[in-house]
Structure 1
Amino acid sequence: MNITPFQALACPLDGAPLQRCGSTWRCQAGHSFDIASHGYAHLLPVQHKRSRDPGDSKEMVAARRRFLNAGYYQPIAAAVSAAALADLPATARAACLDAGCGEGYYLRQLAAATGKGQTLALLGLDISKWAILAAAKQEPRPNWVVGSNARLPVQTGSIDRLLCLFGFPAHAEFARVLKPNGQLLQVDAGPDHLRQLREIIYPRLKPEATAKVQPPPGFASLASENLRYALHLAGQETIADLLAMTPHLYRASTERRALAAELTTLSLTVDVRLTRFVVT
């Protein structure tokens, strides 16, 4: 396998191509963005932020790193990697973006699954600077950037595979940056995903929608698969890490969080849907 950093970045201010000049990225208009000592770039202008420190906190990122590195979601990562590589020739050169990459777990798994003759140019993007810092520390080969899915700092028509896993899809932007026949791989929680944890956190669960997933504008459906398996967690720390990496932590009452904190074991259902779309 050959993993290289993705280079076709775009200025987040005017959309012009960025060129790397030493330890900065610059566009022709003179906008300049420093590259941090760990190799990542901050391409989220202050005027595009909704808060001073958007995205996951340092503590949430650390919890997610511990949980994912323990292998609990490895079957999801394996399914995503297989789907991303399925239609690529054995000697392909392809660019892949993980939009909302967190601390980089799924992109690292994709890199490990890449065939010997294939070359992948990898880009991980997240709105959380703490997530990107953690990703860059663990794997230096991809290009890591702090940025927003709503305004991807990526040149138009430059991506072959785009991953959006448990994230916030911006389908118009995804369609813009994908090449003709480029693919979007989207992972969403199924109706039973972490149900046992949610039953502890919430007094009542909302009924789950069962409508067939329709392709977003600009895309056609390629394939869809459901992945379901049992997960057994032992130890208060591991259970706390799972809760901390989900939105349920902030939606739960103090009493419900206290109930979850007392658990020493927890058996869960992992239930996710992996859908592949092709840009039209």
Structure 2
Amino acid sequence: MIKPLTDFICPLDGKPLHLNERSWRCDNNHSYDVAKQGYVNLLPVQNKRSKDPGDSKAMVQARREYLEQGYYQPLAQALANTVLAEGDQALLDAGCGEGYYLRCIIEQAEQNGTDLSVAGLDISKWAVQAAAKRDKRLSWMVASNSSIPLADNSVDTILCVFGFPVADEFKRVLKPGGRLIMMDPAADHLKELKTIIYSEIKTKNETLPIADPDFELASEQKVAFPVSLASNQAIKDLLTMTPHLYRTSAEGRERAEALSSLKLTVDVWVRVFGLST
């Protein structure tokens, strides 16, 4: 069974939130409405670093178009296998984007008969809106990893997929013995694209993505495979959905956007960290 993870706490005072019709409310009467798409915004204005933080609407749309073509399906499969190896669990996707990887995990969980309580959060309201439209069974939140609006010790597994881990908050919401599963680029990830858009490619130092001593590396798997993009639109979508869009020069973007096909290397680490008790 798939059900929402609803151990919400108020982002202003940390008190438990209770659902009253279409609003989540704490004992101090702070109230957060459920949007028509099915998500709740738990990112107070004072915690925003910009007016519209996170991925833009265009980035979310490009990522959705790209991922739904199945280019990264082997990554989704590897992640689902890793998550579901532990059976029934409460799961938080910390940086869920438009929900592609969570949907793949849920689909496999249903096939396996695994029970999941699931929440996804992202700082981008556009990403959360897109995710919530696709699956109403889960809890979707606009929120930040630096202030996760979930109760202490409420989650068995946290996913951080190409995201930004915040060790102290992850430790707070994880149950004793909980897991952090991270997916991060390895050295050769999208190397062909980088050769086109950058005049110089810096060597990537492969270090663990989280340095907190309470998180111990339990396992790691490198997932590498080729991808062939056969259209100009797919190349534009890939560039738009990645940080490379802002890191490269206008000339670099023009070179990539002029291509009609591109062969790529996908090279990604899937790592499991155990929380020591």
Q: TM-score, normalised by structure 2?
A: 0.96
Residue matched to 1:64: 63
Aligned residues: 275
Residue matched to 2:135: 139
Give the share of equivalent positions with the same residue, in percent.
48
Classify 1:211/1:177 alpha carbon distance in 2 versus 1 (closer, same or farther; 3 Å).
closer
Q: CA deviation at 1:216?
A: 2.6
Q: Take 2:246 and 2:210, find their aligned partners in 1: how far apart are those partners? A: 30
Q: Take 1:241 and 1:11, find their aligned partners in 2: how far apart are those partners? A: 36
Encode CA deviations 1:40-96: one digit per residue, 9 max, x unaligned. Answer: 0000000000000000111110000011111111111111111011122xxx3x210
Counterpart secondary structure, 2:141: strand
1:112 matched to 2:107: yes
Classify 1:46/1:62 alpha carbon distance in 2 versus 1 (closer, same or farther; 3 Å).
same
1:175 matched to 2:174: no
Residue matched to 1:202: 198
Q: Is the 8 A contact 1:171 1:217 kept in 2?
A: no
RMSD of the TM alignment (CA)? 1.2
Following TM superposition, the consecutive aligned residue runs of length 4 or more in structure 1 with deviations greater than 6 angstroms are none
Q: CA deviation at 1:172?
A: 1.2
Q: TM-score, normalised by structure 1?
A: 0.95
**Residue segments in structure 2 that go unaligned for 5+ positions in a row:** none
Residue matched to 1:218: 214
Encode CA deviations 1:216-236: one digit per residue, 9 max, x unaligned. Answer: 332111100100000000111
Classify 1:87/1:55 alpha carbon distance in 2 versus 1 (closer, same or farther; 3 Å).
same
1:153 matched to 2:152: no
Residue identity opposite 1:23 in structure 2: R
Q: CA deviation at 1:117?
A: 3.5
Equivalent residue for 2:93, pick from 98, 112, 119: 98
Q: Take 1:45 and 1:87, find their aligned partners in 2: how far apart are those partners? A: 34
Counterpart secondary structure, 2:182: strand
Q: Is the 8 A contact 2:229 2:262 kept in 1?
A: yes
Q: CA deviation at 1:186?
A: 0.3
Q: Take 2:155 and 2:130, find their aligned partners in 1: how far apart are those partners? A: 24
